[in-house]
Amino acid sequence: MIIPVRCMSCGKPVGHLWEEFKERRRDEDPKEVLDELGLDRYCCRSLFLTHTDLTGKVSKFKK
Ligand SMILES: [Zn+2]
């Protein structure tokens, strides 16, 4: 759905990093991008690596 504003496990604010991660992971190694964004904990890293952005699909069903 939409990336959470904070990591659900540790509470670190991560929502503002999603757009940059999405753009850069096309060309770069995701590990390098996560390191440079300062996401050190594995809870935050797994959140970014496993997130699927469904905003476009869900918005078709808006009332
Ligand atoms: Zn975390």
Q: Would residue 5 count as lying in a domain?
A: no
Q: Would residue 8 count as lying in a domain?
A: no
The whole-model pTM stands at 0.80
For ligand 1, the distance from its centroid to the CA atom of residue 62, given in whole angstroms, is 31
Structural domains counted in the chain: 1
CB-proximal residues (5 Å) to ion ligand 1: 7, 9-10, 41, 43-44
pLDDT at 26: 92
Q: Would residue 26 count as lying in a domain?
A: yes
For ligand 1, the distance from its centroid to the CA atom of residue 8, given in whole angstroms, is 7
Q: Would residue 6 count as lying in a domain?
A: no
pLDDT at 33: 96
Q: Would residue 31 count as lying in a domain?
A: yes
Q: What own/partner pairs with CB < 8 Å and gap ≥ 24 does 1-9 have?
A: 1/53, 1/54, 1/55, 1/58, 2/53, 2/55, 3/47, 3/48, 3/51, 3/53, 4/47, 7/41, 7/43, 7/44, 7/47, 8/43, 8/47, 9/41, 9/43, 9/44, 9/47
For ligand 1, the distance from its centroid to the CA atom of residue 44, given in whole angstroms, is 4
Structural domain boundaries enclosing 20: 15-61
Q: Would residue 23 count as lying in a domain?
A: yes
* Each residue's pLDDT tens digit, 3-61: 999 999 999 999 999 999 999 999 999 999 999 999 999 999 999 999 998 888 888 88
